[in-house]
Structure 1
Amino acid sequence: HFIPNLANAFLDDNKQSKQSKFNLKGLVFGNSMLRKKLDDITKIDFFFSWEMINISLYNEIKKECNAIGKNNYFSSIKTTWSEKCKNVVFEADLANIKTDAHNYSPQKLF
């Protein structure tokens, strides 16, 4: 959904602006997974913010996975996940797999 929405925003801006126009010839995205640790941490925050996991599971993940919830997204220190952490993150991954992305709407937005 990102690319069509971005293109639509450019077109809307072009309609409203009389001075500058976007002349978009193409758009290139690289690999969005820059660092495994960053991806792991932000995935859990994303699942929780969209109510794909409940607060109990989110709190358990924060407790068992020492790197999550400490705003250390950009730390270069390698994180070694414990077995208990891996198990609760796997549970969150299963909750994500079971979510019907085409018919999913969170109950609340932030």
Structure 2
Amino acid sequence: MSKELIAILKPYANWFNDQGEEINQQAKEALYVFYRRLLKYKPSKRYEKRKNISFHAIYITGLVAAKKAFMEGKYMRVCNELRSLMHYEDFFQGRIYYNVLNLLRENLDIEDE
């Protein structure tokens, strides 16, 4: 887990998204910063199975929640969902890493770099 990436999300990670539109827009900007920093990391080449559950794709529920928050314009909630993913999952597994990049790219209208 990257302390640098968590530090970007932490000030805005609020599931209730109830701190006003100005903070919500700051959260959106933080997601751009998060995306650019995430690109500097490389996905793990080694598969890590979750210790307490054997369901390989459970992380998808977090991605779906983040996608829904994007659709509702709740950027603080997106930060919260990504922070939770980083806490509960091996975030740098390719299956998670690339899906998070795609989620951010699509929902923040980021052109391929």
Q: TM-score range by the shorter chain?
A: under 0.3
More helix by share: 2
> What is the TM-score of this pair, normalised by structure 1?
0.25
> What is the TM-score of this pair, normalised by structure 2?
0.24
Structure with more contact order per residue of length (Cα contacts < 8 Å, sep ≥ 6): 2
In our comparison, the structure showing a higher alpha carbon Rg is: 1
